[in-house]
Amino acid sequence: MYRITLALLLISSPALAATLECKVTGISDGDTISCFDPERRKLEKIRLRGIDAPERKQPFGTRSQQHLSDLAYGKTATIHWTKRDRWKRIIGAVWVEPADCPGCGHTLDAGRAQLASGMAWWYEHYAREQPLEERHAYEFEQDEAKARSVGLWRDPQPIPPWDWRRGKR
């Protein structure tokens, strides 16, 4: 019992969250980037925590990828993360400097920006893995994008990527 409790504390402890500073060198799709550490020793794949973007062949897939590229490509980023997925990608929040505020530092949450522009869904299935404040902010951004009918919410019945991948089209 002691080992299980200790393991749960270690996994859920924000104090054990890691931070990675890197340069964004690739955008795979609307929720995945590639970046090099400052010494260009290692290329990392980063999956944006808390969102799921349309697949490339899905409606809005290309636009979602382009929007993330406009936000992050070629910039330095700060990644706050606590885990890797089964493909060894880092799952984390990606923070970059906003294009309209040079010198502001890494104050733009790319995942939240994807949601606000209607370029991704809030991935509620994994909400428990998000810090509470982030979870509420992401839910709010998705609700606002829906209400404004922006991005993928222009479609009368957008298909979430998790259904698209299962062939529910």
CATH (domain of 37) = 2.40.50.90
Residue 157 lies in a domain: yes
Residue 5 lies in a domain: no
Q: Which of 49, 89, 134, 141 is catalytic?
A: 89
Residue 7 lies in a domain: no
For the question of residue 128 being annotated catalytic, the response is no
Residue 149 lies in a domain: yes
pLDDT digits (tens, 9 = 90+) for 43-100: 999 999 999 999 999 999 999 999 999 999 999 999 999 999 999 999 999 999 999 9
Q: Which of 40, 41, 44, 47 is catalytic?
A: 47
pLDDT band at 33 (very low <50, low <70, confident <90, very high): very high
Number of domains observed in the structure of the chain: 1
Residue 70 lies in a domain: yes
Residue 1 lies in a domain: no
pLDDT digits (tens, 9 = 90+) for 133-169: 999 999 999 999 999 999 999 999 999 999 999 987 6
Residue 8 lies in a domain: no
Q: Which of 55, 124, 129, 144 is catalytic?
A: 55
For the question of residue 47 being annotated catalytic, the response is yes
For the question of residue 166 being annotated catalytic, the response is no
Residues 6 or more apart in contact with residue 49 via CB below 8 angstroms: 81, 91, 92, 93, 111, 126, 129, 130, 134
Could you tell me the residue range of the domain that residue 120 belongs to? 16-165
- Residue that has been written with the tokens 């899905």 in this structure: 58
